[in-house]
Amino acid sequence: MQTYDLEADGLRGLNSALQAQQNATNQTSWEVVNPKGSHAIAVGLDAPIEVTIKGSTGYYCAGMNQQATVKVEGSVGPGVAENMMSGQVIVDGDASQYAGATGHGGLLVIKGNASSRCGISMKGIDIVVHGNIGHMSAFMAQDGNLVVCGDAGDALGDSLYEARLFVRGSVKSLGADCIEKEMRPEHIEILKDLLDRAGSDAKPEEFKRYGSARQLYNFDVDNAAAY
Amino acid sequence: MKDMDDQPPRTLPIQSATFTNPINAEIRRAAATGIYDIRGGGAKRKVPHFDDLLFLGASVSRYPLEGYRERCDTSVTLGTRFAKKPIELDIPITIAGMSFGALSGPAKEALGRGASAAGTSTTTGDGGMTPEERGHSSKLVYQYLPSRYGMNPNDLRKADAIEIVVGQGAKPGGGGMLLGQKISDRVAEMRTLPKGIDQRSACRHPDWTGPDDLEIKILELREITGWQVPIYVKVGATRPYYDTALAVKAGADVVVMDGMQGGTAATQDVFIEHVGLPTLSCIRPAVQALQDLGVHREVQLVISGGIRTGADAAKALALGADAVAIGTAALVALGDNDPKWEAEYQKLGTTTGAYDDWHEVKTRRA
Ligand SMILES: Cc1cc2nc3c(=O)[nH]c(=O)nc-3n(C[C@H](O)[C@H](O)[C@H](O)COP(=O)(O)O)c2cc1C
């Protein structure tokens, strides 16, 4: 176990040490103490290492992550795991706006609640939120799965493309072109796997599925009122 | 019996300067379709431009250099403020970012080859980085756009500089619309979207708003790329003084200011013609902002939008810019709108030099 004191030794030193880890590294376990809400902690990682952050972080924690598992024993600021490609990011507390924005792959787990625009523009990432999510979540979401064990705020899935949204609780309102869809066996399978990996005991059968009505895919005057 | 000479003199038919034929045609088109017109290119209306400026040549009080005999150094370095590896260019003329999708792979390759031969940089665009342009560009600027189509850390680390696109001169504050005709399998896959749909490129970034967030975003990108490469911030010319000042405050190495004549692949005509400032009018305020902050020449200024010739480039530099970027001129050099294709343009119901509905071309494109 490598321990890094962020307050004493600085952000650049932490990120360059973590980014220098290769696939075959034997320094697979890292602990970051005194994060004190700093921004851009553990960004741009690309090795199968495990990084545990002992406290809360600022913006863009684990941004553009590849392969690594980043655990935050606290809450995270805006844009956690933004543009993640692979690996896992697990947040014990709550997440601020744009959690998992534009993520292409990997799994983001938020044990608390996520704020507005969770999963905005997501492109293949899987996101599981144990609590609730805020308004405008999954705006223009292109691909991947967003699973919400609690409730969703206003305008869920506005201008949605091909991402799948699963919500167990209530949805305050659906955004333009987002509709409830039939839950088929393959969706139950996807949910089961994601809930399992995210450490949630929620039952897949309790969720409703939402997706794109695909009515806004082409630029058409009949859609003018939807914009 | 009336003689012809008895007819009273008549007035000539006068075309209205307000309701011109092109305006009337647009009203008829709008009435028939009910939706705005999407086109490429920049503002076509006449605005004050570099043609309105002249150089003072050498005279008794100034000493000239001998053309083609004495050395004239045209090199420029971009990104000297924070980047460990600034970009060194042999000429102060760069190729602007143009999306893969609007441009084909071969066009991207051609631009890369030409720019590398001339000792300058090319820029990716919406839709991500292609091997064609990375492979053939000795210096490649990677755009970080609101859509984040194709954005990935591997390509980010391959870039020689990163350009955060806040806006474009043709559509400051507006997103893009890549119409379905241009969405090939490869373009769709790179953007993670279904084939054939009309793709909106978002108008604002998904994970930051305002200059304070931008500062943190720049920090993140620098941390991911180890503070090696310069970070540019590109803005569409609207409030050039404040936008430049805020980009500097947010930590940019280079500010790219794109005026309203700047080309685009596709957006609403009404946006192209009625939003933004002419290129000429935004250079001095941008330079003034850099000077007021004491960073003129330390944070470099790149100007684009309607740069056609060496004279335009020289005038932009004389006004205080460090370099210029060209989009449309590079496409024209590749053969776009060449009169030798006039017969084909006629078949499309248009003429060379006027054609801007690139998305409607299904066969040949730049
Ligand atoms: C076909 C085409 C595609 C463009 N695509 C992009 C783009 O993806 N991102 C961007 O920031 N600017 C884009 N631009 C704008 C250029 O980067 C640049 O700002 C503009 O072309 C400069 O003006 P000029 O065309 O008069 O030289 C595009 C321009 C054209 C003509």
Separation of first and last alpha carbons in chain A: 52
Nearest CA to ligand 1 atom 12: B97
Nearest CB among A46, A58, A79 relative to B207 is that of A79
pLDDT digits (tens, 9 = 90+) for A113-156: 999 999 999 999 999 999 999 999 999 999 999 999 999 999 99
Q: In whole angstroms, how far apart are CA B337 and each of B323, B334, B344? A: 26, 9, 10
Average pLDDT over residues A36-64: 98
Check CB contact under 8 Å for B220 and A60: yes
Amino acid residing at B83: A
CA distance B106 to chain A (A): 27
Ligand 1: nearest atom to the Cα of B124: 8
| Percent of chain B at pLDDT exceeding 70 | 96
Strands B176-178 and B199-201: antiparallel
The C-alpha atoms of residue B199 and residue B182 are separated, in whole angstroms, by 10
**CB-based pocket (< 6 A), ligand 1:** B 40, 42, 96-99, 102, 125-126, 143, 165, 168-169, 234, 258, 261-265, 304-307, 326-329, 331
Q: Is B220–A11 a contact, with Cβ atoms under 8 angstroms apart?
A: no
Provide mean pLDDT across the span A19-41: 94
pLDDT, tens only, B21-68: 999 999 999 999 988 888 999 999 999 999 999 999 999 999 998 988
A27 inside 8 A of chain B by CB: no
pLDDT given at position A30: 97
C-alpha of residue B302 to centroid of ligand 1, in Å: 14
Which positions in chain A touch B151 (Cβ < 8 Å)?
83, 102
Pairwise CB contact (< 8 Å): B220 & A12: no
Sign of the C-alpha dihedral computed for residues A227, A119, B166 and B151 taken in this order: negative
Closest residue, chain A, to B34 (C-alpha)? A221
- Ramachandran category for residue A121: left, alpha or beta (phi over 0 → left; psi -120 to 50 → alpha): left
How many Å lie between the centroid of ligand 1 and the Cα of residue A116? Answer: 32
ipTM value > 0.90: yes
CA distance B129 to B99: 9
Model confidence pLDDT, tens digit, residues B178-196: 777 777 888 888 999 888 8
B-proximal residues of A, 38-67, CB under 8 Å? 39-40, 43-44, 46, 58-60, 63-64, 66
Q: What does the pLDDT read at residue A13? A: 98
- Decide which of B7 and B81 is more confident: B81
A124 in B contact zone (CB under 8 Å): yes
* Averaged pLDDT for residues A160-174: 98
* Confidence bin at B366 (pLDDT 50/70/90): very low
pLDDT score of B88 more than 80 = yes
* Among A3-7, B104-108, B158-162, the least confident range: B104-108
pLDDT at position B174 over 60: yes
Q: Which atom belonging to ligand 1 lies closest to the Cα atom of B123?
A: 17
Report CB contact under 8 Å: A60, B207: yes
Which residue among B35, B153, B198 sits closest to A64, beta carbon to beta carbon? B153
- What residues in A contact B35, CB-CB < 8 Å? 219-221, 224
d(CA B195, CA B176): 17
Residue B365's pLDDT is what?
40
Of B151, B152, B216, the CB nearest to A60: B216
pLDDT single digits (tens) B211-242: 999 999 999 999 999 999 999 999 999 999 99
Report which DSSP code applies to A41.
T
Q: Is the pLDDT of residue B360 over 90?
A: no
Q: Max CA-CA distance within chain B?
A: 96
A215 touches chain B (CB under 8 A): no
Domains in chain B with CATH codes: 85-211+223-334 (3.20.20.70)
Mean pLDDT over the full length of chain B? 93
Q: Name the nearest CA neighbour of B208 among A96, A127, A90.
A: A96
Q: What percent of chain B is predicted at pLDDT more than 90?
A: 82
Chain B residue numbers touching A224 (CB-CB < 8 A): 34-35
Q: What residues of chain A lie within 8 A of the CB of B38, using their CB?
A: 219
Amino acid B363: pLDDT: 43
CB B120 within 8 A of CB B89: yes
Give the 3-state secondary structure of chain B.
Answer: CCCHHHCCCCCCCCCCCCCCHHHHHHHHHHHHHCCCCEECCCCCCCCCCHHHCCCCCCCCCCCCCCCCCCCCCCCEEECCCCCCCCEEECCCEEECCCCECCECHHHHHHHHHHHHHHCCCEECCCCCCCHHHHHHCCCEEEEECCCCCCCCHHHHHHCCEEEEECCCCCCCCCCEEECHHHCCHHHHHHHCCCCCCCEEECCCCCCCCHHHHHHHHHHHHHHHCCCCCCEEEEEECCCHHHHHHHHHHHCCCEEEEECCCCCCCCEEHHHHHHCCCCHHHHHHHHHHHHHHCCCECCEEEEEECCCCCHHHHHHHHHCCCCEEEECHHHHHHHCCCCHHHHHHHHHCCCCCCCCCCHHHCCCCCC
CB-closest option in A44, A83, A218 to B223: A44
Mutation to probe ligand 1, out of B44, B98, B143 (largest number of atoms < 8 A from CB): B98
The string of pLDDT tens digits covering residues B288-344 is: 999 999 999 999 999 999 999 999 999 999 999 999 999 999 999 999 999 999 999
Spatial CA neighbour of A58 closest among A43, A42, A72, A37: A37
Distance from CA of B219 to the nearest CA of A (A): 7
